[in-house]
Amino acid sequence: MDTSQAINAFSALAHETRLTVFRLLIKEGEQGLSAGIIAQRLEVQPSTLTAHLHILRRAGLIQSTRQKQKILYSADIPGTRDLLQFLTQECCEGRPEICAELSASVKIC
């Protein structure tokens, strides 16, 4: 991930609704959720949600897959890993013991 991509991802997450959507999809895992269910759970208008989903998708943080007539949205785990690695790649002046707890939690993802 380059700086431009990271800025795009952070910009996408710098909105309360988009951050909440992203966190919900991370929690849901690979099966994902339809836009209707996301809108219902978060009490967001479907038309507004569509724009937020588009921004998150363009930033590489979520993905969509079609299942019959439904589109399911889920976290883009490789994209999320790339962002986390971008943040931590030069962590702690080469002293991994300082960031051991953070490093362990990133590997769990």
Digit-coded pLDDT (tens) for 2-32: 999 999 999 999 999 999 999 999 999 999 9
Domains parsed from the chain with CATH numbers? 3-108 (1.10.10.10)
Closest CA to 11 of 46, 3, 109, 25: 3
Cα–Cα dist 91/74, whole Å: 28
Ramachandran category for residue 92: left, alpha or beta (phi over 0 → left; psi -120 to 50 → alpha): left
Asked if pLDDT for residue 103 goes beyond 80, the answer is no
Per-residue pLDDT tens digits for 71-99: 999 999 999 989 988 887 777 776 767 77
Confidence class of residue 59 from pLDDT cuts 50, 70 and 90? very high
| pTM of the predicted model over 0.95 | no
Mean pLDDT throughout 37-48? 96
